[in-house]
Structure 1
């Protein structure tokens, strides 16, 4: 039997989010015919992983989705990551959970065309929408990338992603999908560069 709380959650959060996500995915497909995911493939579980956390609160107070070729199953694939919270909206693009092989390939791509990479992340529109490239960094750089590091220090990063934060009022506006598509288009050149790199 469905509890009152669960019914409220499904009516007020889960179902509206899935409907919104379907609309956004359909809009993205107009520009990316290879995208073949459904909302259920992209939405992350609301349950928190509390195994190693002092905070035993069972549920997240935000709802998230990762729109890419493999959805939420593989966050290394560049795409658009959305996190709708009670205080702000986070919009992210790029690569996060990359493997060692993928990281090596991305660094090789940066080494092969450092100027192209620099032009992508320093693009005025990208900087205006997202700011700078984020991600943890290695303190030691492999020998084959040390020379490139002198010209492009970002090659030391272990992830390559960008983040924008918006006000929650956007969630109830009539132009939510339109505005998120602007972020998607802005991030697409960087996402394409990283996608090609990890495929090699």
Structure 2
């Protein structure tokens, strides 16, 4: 059985949502460290062991995969300093500082979110993926139509354009995929799964079934994509 979170961890997240300020957090930081950060690092390590078999290119030390609980408020009107969840992002080796395809886990006080995909890609990456899908859309569709995948995850919001992007024909058979601005899969599980010893299995089985799609989306991003000509 894998790592799970305690009821005290969820209580902390509920409290943080109501009291998102540095004083409240500072007085309870030891709870965050013990009940949330430590278990999340342990869970990441366990997921890493399993991913070594199907996505070894996404493995890094657990502390590099764990995301900060501190919000980046530099350019935001919302100045609340903390996120209301703990999360982890498994980026592909070589794409850690970009928006390549990866795997994501988030635990809040209300749900467990497991996701995989390319989100908010950089302009060059967006173009590279679109060009790749022109010739590989059938492979993309075959993966996302898989019976097991569809039983475990759903396609996420694609943020589609209203018209074909420049350089792509409206009649292209891949145009519905080309018009997307992101591609991904997700599953939202009830919060009870966070306190269950089956949490590790929940994460791994979904990461594993999504791995072929992540591999496909990252293929055109390996190395530096060519700069757009327009």
In the TM superposition, what is the alpha-carbon distance from 1:127 to its structure 2 partner?
2.3
Q: TM-score, normalised by structure 1?
A: 0.87
2:167 equivalent in structure 1: 144
Partner Cα distance (1:5, 1:176) in 2: 25
Q: Cα deviations across residues 44-100 of structure 1 (Å, max 9, x unaligned)?
A: 111123345454332111011101225994362222101111101111101013111
> Does residue 81 of structure 1 match 2:104?
yes
**Residues matched between the structures, number:** 198
2:41 equivalent in structure 1: 18
Of 192, 197, 216, 1:169 maps to: 192
1:63 equivalent in structure 2: 86
CA contact (8 A) 1:149 1:156 kept: no
Partner Cα distance (2:214, 2:73) in 1: 32
> Does residue 49 of structure 1 match 2:72?
yes
2:14 equivalent in structure 1: none
Higher helix share: 1
**RCO comparison, higher one (Cα < 8 Å, 6+):** 2
Distance 1:71 1:132, change over 3 A: same
Distance 1:74 1:162, change over 3 A: farther
- Residue 104 of structure 2 aligns to a residue whose secondary structure is strand
2:55 equivalent in structure 1: 32
- Residue 186 of structure 2 aligns to a residue whose secondary structure is strand
CA contact (8 A) 1:66 1:80 kept: yes
Of 87, 100, 108, 2:131 maps to: 108
Distance 1:147 1:188, change over 3 A: same
Distance 1:75 1:96, change over 3 A: farther
Which ranges in structure 2 are unaligned for 5 or more consecutive residues? Answer: 1-25, 226-230
CA contact (8 A) 1:92 1:162 kept: yes
- Residue 113 of structure 1 aligns to a residue whose secondary structure is helix
> Does residue 95 of structure 1 match 2:118?
yes
Which ranges in structure 1 are unaligned for 5 or more consecutive residues? Answer: none
Partner Cα distance (2:66, 2:94) in 1: 8
